[in-house]
Amino acid sequence: RKAQIAAIRRSSGDLVLNVDSDTTLASDVIRKLALKMQDSAIGAAMGQLTASNRSDTWLTRLIDMEYWLACNEERAAQARFGAVMCCCGPCAMYRRSALLSLLDQYETQMFRGKPSDFGEDRHLTILMLEAGFRTEYVQDAIAATVVPDTLGPYLRQQLRWARSTFRDTLLLLRLLPGLDRYLTLDVIGQNLGPLLLTVTVLAGLAQLALTGTV
C-alpha cells in the first residue's frame, strides 16, 4: 500500500492505472478504461479478469470460471446500478484528482489497532463511493492474472479476501441508503451466504455427532 501511495503522489496524469505484478494486460485495456473514465462522475473502473494459467490444474480452471462469474454477473450487475463494490487490484483505473483527496484516509486505515495490510482494492473503491463517485466495470478490457494452482495458497487468498469483505462491509453500510436498493440486496446476499453455509455445515456435523445420521 505504501508503494502504491508513493507512486500515486509522484504521478502527473489525469488517470492512474493499478496493475498487479503477475498480471498481463491486453493491448487495448488502457484505451478502453480511459474511454469509460471520460465521464467525470466516474472515480474508478475495472476490467475483466481471467486466469492466465487456466490450463495448469483443475483448480485454476475452476478459479477462471469463478472470475468470469464474479466479473460478468456480479460486477456487471453492480455497474448497472452505478456502484461496483470492489474494483479489483489486478486491473483498475482511478481518477487521480479523486485519489489525491482520499490518500490520507487510505494510508491511515487501521484494523485491530494496526495499520491495514490487506484489502487495498476494496477499501479504495469504498472511499471512492463515499466521496460521491461512481465505480464501473468494462467487460472488454481483458486482464490475465496468475491464480493459485494448489489448495493451500488458494485458501489463504480466500481467507484474506473474506476478511477484507466483512471488514469493509461495515464501512459500506452507511453508504447503502444513498445507493440503489439492488445494491443493498447484493451486499446482504454476499455477506449472509457464507454465514448460512457455516451454520449449515455446523448443524450437519452436530446431527452426525448426536444421532449418527446425516
Q: What is the pLDDT of residues 185-207, one digit of tens each?
A: 998 888 888 889 999 999 999 99
Residue 148: phi and psi, rounded to 5, are -60, 140
Does the pLDDT value for residue 105 go beyond 80?
Answer: yes
Q: What is the pLDDT of residue 195?
A: 85
How many structural domains compose the chain? 1
Is 206 inside any structural domain? no
Is 198 inside any structural domain? no
Q: Which is nearest to 119 in space by CA: 91, 82, 89? A: 89
- Residue range of the domain that includes 11: 1-177
What are the distances in angstroms from CA 44 to CA 166, 190, 214? 21, 21, 48
| CA–CA gap between residue 98 and residue 107 (Å, rounded) | 14
Contact between 148 and 33 under an 8 Å Cβ cutoff? The reply is no
Q: What is the pLDDT of residue 138?
A: 97
Is 171 inside any structural domain? yes
Is 89 inside any structural domain? yes
Is 205 inside any structural domain? no
Lowest mean pLDDT among 17-26, 143-152, 161-170: 161-170
| CA–CA gap between residue 214 and residue 63 (Å, rounded) | 30
Q: What is the pLDDT of residue 142?
A: 97
What Rg, from alpha-carbon coordinates, does the chain have?
18
Is 196 inside any structural domain? no
Q: Which is nearest to 99 in space by CA: 131, 136, 141? A: 131
Does the pLDDT value for residue 112 go beyond 90?
Answer: no
Contact between 146 and 52 under an 8 Å Cβ cutoff? The reply is yes
| CA–CA gap between residue 78 and residue 88 (Å, rounded) | 13
Is 79 inside any structural domain? yes
Which CATH number goes with the domain that contains 166?
A: 3.90.550.10
Does the pLDDT value for residue 162 go beyond 80?
Answer: yes
Sign of CA dihedral 205, 207, 212, 214: negative
3-state secondary structure of 179: coil
The mean pLDDT of 145-169, rounded to a whole number, is 91
What average pLDDT is seen over the chain? Answer: 92
**What confidence category does residue 149 fall into, taking pLDDT thresholds of 50, 70 and 90?**
very high
> For 26-78, what is each residue's pLDDT tens digit?
999 999 999 999 999 999 999 999 999 999 999 999 999 999 999 999 999 99
Is 41 inside any structural domain? yes
The pTM for the full model equals 0.87
Lowest mean pLDDT among 17-21, 61-65, 173-177: 173-177
Q: What is the pLDDT of residue 14?
A: 95
